[in-house]
A and B are shown apart, each in its own frame.
Chain A
Amino acid sequence: MPDRTPPSAGPIIAVRDLVVGFGEKIILDGLSLDVMPGEILGFVGGSGTGKSVLTRTILGLIEKRAGRISVFGQDLDTMPEAERRKLEKRWGVMFQHGALFSSLTVAQNIQVPMREYLDLSPAMMSDLAALKIQMVGLKSDAGEKYPSELSGGMIKRAALARALALDPEIVFLDEPTSGLDPIGAAEFDSLIRTLQQTLGLTVFMVTHDLDSLASACDRIAALADRKVVAVGTLAEMVASPHPWVKSYFRGERALARLKG
């Protein structure tokens, strides 16, 4: 919501001329991207083009070779360690395969960041964990379960609940609907929409799913040739002249979806 971040502020995440590579191979070359506060940005690209690499670079899991990344208007490179810790409280990440801690129950998983960062009574923590579990649409008994006892869709929801544990301002979602059936995926899209409106989130979503792009995302950025080749609404993407974007948004599957 607007009260979380000043309305006049510029992009909440700004990436400029980013270069990332492993060994000889350059994955991202001169990539620039802005994520505006309060929006849901869908990030698309072919398999293996470096969508996850960008996310992981922003999160600081991969070293960059050149370029600048600033989050909440602060440059990540020049930020002192203590500021950086504070920043990590303000974003939440949902990994592609959940990355739930397998030896903890769902409720305990959600409480991990709370225990680390917050000063709360244990009763309040379990109450908040139960609240998050229900907010992501899981039954309340799911909190007692271990990740190995959950279905794929439930793992995604539980991972989202953990990402939301600290009421972050930015949420990174890595392929949130992959591996879900179309109904489950649609439910997940509307869940993300609802949570974004209720909690005032900014969402950065890596996805392959055309339905998600059409129904959940405010803007879409397309990655091809190691940089962002097109940014805009769905209509703007469809009109883009770039060959990869063209084949993605004007392929048979896409057309069927967009007409429907």
Chain B
Amino acid sequence: MPQTIASPGFEIRRDGERAVIALAGEWTLDHGRRLERLAEQMPISLGEVRRAVLDIGEIQRLDTLGARVIDQLSHELGSEGVRVEVTHARREHATLLDAVRTRTAVVDRPPRSRLIDMLADIGRTVVLAWHDLVRGVSFIGEVVVAIGRALIRPQRFRWASLINQLEQIAFRGAPIIILITFLVGCIVAQQGIFQLRRFGATAFVVDLVGIITLRELALLLCAIMIAGRSGSAFTAEIGSMKMREEIDALRVMGLNPVDVLVVPRILALIIAMPILTFLGSMAGLFGAGLTAWLYGGIAPETFVSRLQSVITYKHFSVGLIKAPFMAIVIGAIACIEGLEVKGSAESLGQQVTASVVKAIFMVIVVDGLFAMFFASIRF
């Protein structure tokens, strides 16, 4: 800038009980804290006076901060019983001072007790957890009704949406699920052989890997992967539609968001999960067989024949029976969280996180319940 930048300052001239404070320089935002310090010093260096005249004629530039500081200063002096006067204000400075004067300052909120805050927080969390449960159950009810409607009138069902979701979930999700179950199959087989070798029972690794992969591993890995991959996508898609009032637009057109958005997604998950679990099981067994051959010296023929004698249809079906239930858990949580999104980007992020965390947690809880159930019926 062409003109020299003069930092703000003041000078006090005393005249009996009256003090003239001449302000000069640039009283602007560029001098932020310096201005605040000046305003703190001034009453101190002023000492005991009855009348103070703020001469602002020499101020080169004034903006809202400068005006605000001057206003606060005169207010503060006034409250100490000093009569304050502002003189030599240029027309534009006077307008600005007027604009700033009539406003009230922010009121600080009264301090609250930490303990009470914490207790209130715990209470709120408990109540919210209960609401979550109730909402989950009623939402699943809504979805069942909507699926019923679709069965009665299949021509109104959104087939295109279902196929699209199937492609996203099953087709595009398959490679990564096959890869991770393959790797985990390898790792479990290697660990099994390593530990069982000490008892001279290496051959039992086939039983171990076969049962654990078919009953639990493939399904759990698949569910966790789908919760992270598709559950988060559902929440984000539905959530951003909620943010932009698209859900409301559906409602006023007489379309039920559950029919349009939720049912195709959950149905696609219910179809995709068993398929992916099956693929995962095969990949896991393949990985285990490969490791058994290369690391444990168990020939593929031995591995396969032992697998045939150990694995019954029961073990195979346990994983597949559980798959659709996991699909419902993941799908319902993802869609509920999506519909809970409020207007902000932050809320979308929170809801997506909550969706993935809750889905994985619930998948493990439900898996535990199934384990108890199957054990008690000796399946």
Contacts and interface: CB of A to CB of B under 8 A. Distances in A.
A140 B92 contact: no
Contacts of A120: 29, 32-33, 36, 65
Interface string A120-153: 1100101111111011000010010011110000
A130 B92 CA distance: 22
A126 B106 contact: yes
A167 B96 CA distance: 12
A3 interface: yes
Given A130-B103, A131-B64, A199 B343 contact: no
B3 interface: yes
B3 A102 contact: no
A81 to B, nearest CB: 18
A58 interface: no
Nearest to B100: A131
A3 B64 contact: no
A103 interface: yes
B315 interface: no
B68 interface: yes
Contacts of A4: 61
Contacts of A132: 64
Nearest to B347: A103
A3 B90 contact: yes
Contacts of A198: 95-96, 99
A258 interface: no
Nearest to B1: A72
Contacts of A37: none
Given A3-B90, A131-B100, A200-B92, A167 B65 contact: yes
Given A146-B343, A147-B344, A167-B65, 18 more contacts: A2-B92, A3-B60, A3-B61, A4-B61, A102-B343, A103-B345, A103-B346, A118-B32, A121-B33, A127-B105, A128-B65, A131-B103, A134-B103, A135-B103, A148-B343, A149-B343, A198-B99, A199-B64
Interface of B: 2-3, 28-29, 32-33, 36, 60-65, 68, 90, 92, 95-96, 99-100, 103-106, 342-347
Interface of A: 1-4, 6, 101-103, 118-121, 124, 126-132, 134-135, 140, 143, 146-149, 166-167, 197-200
